[in-house]
Structure 1
Amino acid sequence: MRQFLSSRVLVLASALMLAVAAGMPCAADAADAGGLVNALTSQLGVTKPQAEGGAGALFNLAKQRMSPDQFGQVENQVPGIGGLMSAAPGASSGRAGASGGGGLSGMASDALGGMAGGSGGGLGALAPLAGSFSSLGLSPDMASKFLPVVLDYLNSSGGGGAAGLLKGALTG
């Protein structure tokens, strides 16, 4: 019996090590972005999960719109960006920024975009985030409030160039 238990522990430990080695995001990844998350929670009055998911949704959309080199500059300025991106609603589907993450949230985003002639109810280039923000319990217009906080964070951490690239991808 003892040998059976120790072999199970070994298998579980090996699986955990493989997951870490494979670069699977974990809670610690998002914790690395504590400065950005704290800025969002304090300035916007959102919860930590909302801050993580909303920032992740912004970064997922930016990644879709930027070249790998450009997004790499943003990645270098945000510790724990992978954890934030995986915290975004629908991140595991690979469509997190495309139309709000698919499912009902994606339909909400599509409906908002369609109702305003593609403008997303005033969200403009951030309209694809409406569904993700709704999934987080936030109004879709919060996406436009998250962006300046994220840009300020990048500017204050020495990532002015990255902030400019991010702004161009998300507002243009």
Structure 2
Amino acid sequence: MNAILKKFLFVSSIYLLAPTAGALTLDDVLSSETQTLSSTTEVSGEAQQLVGKLQNQLGVSETQAIGGTGALLQLAQNQLGTDTMTSEASGLSNLLGGGSSLLANISSIDEVQSTFSALGMDSAMIQQFVPIMLGFLGQQGVGSSLLAQLQNLWMPVA
């Protein structure tokens, strides 16, 4: 069972067992995770340019830009078994999880969609993140072969 599903089941069981207490809701947990993500992830180097570009072009918050980018990069690292792209652009490796369990062990596009949802974004935002990220990675020297693999991974044909 993946980490996100375990967390969801845990939080759901607490919420169902103590509905009158109102001390903990799923929104509280997700808010806590995204605050942890924002406070533990230091964006540096060229990664700052990518995060800024996502914020400006898509109107997302810094936390959403960091989390969405991190989720996509984590998926690429887990599926392609390469860290070539993170070595090409300084600071990208910091976006891989940033110490947050929200991004740990993402291994499918469904888990990326769940992460986007937890960050308050529609899963359709993935299609808006990908071209910006691919363009950025191409500018950083990532080869066309790897960019094609990333596009296939991040935007699979339905």
Q: TM-score, normalised by structure 2?
A: 0.62
Structural RMSD (CA): 2.2
Secondary structure at 1:166 match in 2: helix
State which of 101, 113, 117 in structure 2 corresponds to 1:130: 113
- Confirm or deny: 8 A CA contact 1:130 1:140 kept in the other structure: yes
2:80 aligns with 66
Q: Which aligned runs of 4 or more in structure 1 are off by greater than 4 angstroms?
A: none
CA offset at residue 82 of structure 1? 2.4
Secondary structure at 1:58 match in 2: helix
1:166 aligns with 150
> Are residue 154 (structure 1) and residue 137 (structure 2) matched?
yes
- Confirm or deny: 8 A CA contact 2:116 2:122 kept in the other structure: yes
- In the aligned structure 2, how far is the partner of 1:170 from the partner of 1:27? 22
CA offset at residue 74 of structure 1? 1.1
Unaligned runs of at least 5 residues, structure 1 = 1-25, 100-125
> Are residue 98 (structure 1) and residue 98 (structure 2) matched?
no
- State the number of aligned residues: 114
Which has more radius of gyration? 1
Q: TM-score, normalised by structure 1?
A: 0.58
State which of 87, 90, 95 in structure 2 corresponds to 1:84: 95
Percent identity, aligned pairs only, is 28
Unaligned runs of at least 5 residues, structure 2 = 1-39
